[in-house]
Amino acid sequence: LIISDQGRELLKQELGLDLIGVENRNDYFCDFMGFESGCLYLLNNNSWQSVVASGSGAPDKMVIAPCSMATLAKVAAGIADNLIARAADVVLKERGKLILVPRETPLSTVHLENMLRISRAGGVILPPTAGFYNDPETIEDMVDFVIARIFKQLGLNNDFCGIWGEE
């Protein structure tokens, strides 16, 4: 998991999670999120020594969620000036699955053109738009719908919400 500087700020503002000065960030983050300890590893967005920065260690799949328009523009232009942008660049060049979940609305023409460039390069643009055909009752239901769509793109089975047409 790579968290940008802005992402750290959002975690602090929106969830009350402050990772600054935390000694064991991995376990602290997992515990805060209710995950099993050791289930993920936090990477520094400024670290160029990470395995995901190299084609020889590129992940097969990557999700950038939420994806700011600044990050989306960098990926579209091939500007790999941080680990998130570099890893996305590597996934695309190695023909892996890159999924971007944009955070902005409304979208400008520039945003749409950048999304088109990424789509043409093989990336998937997956706006966090909930479906209402499954009759969501809570915000969590709507979030689960988006997560289910991301999981489907990743080829992962999930029980977040039903499939259209199934009772």
What tokens does 161 get?
């919400």
138-155, pLDDT tens digit by residue?
999 999 999 999 999 999
**Domain for residue 67, yes or no?**
no
Residue 155, Ramachandran bin (φ over 0: left; ψ between -120 and 50: alpha; else beta)? left
| Domain that includes residue 9, residue range | 1-44
**Domain for residue 35, yes or no?**
yes
**Domain for residue 37, yes or no?**
yes
* Cα–Cα dist 34/165, whole Å: 32
* Cα–Cα dist 15/130, whole Å: 21
**What pTM did the predictor assign?**
0.89
100-140, pLDDT tens digit by residue?
999 999 999 999 999 999 999 999 999 999 888 888 999 99
What tokens does 7 get?
């992402």
**Cis status of the peptide bond prior to 66, with omega within 30 of 0:** yes
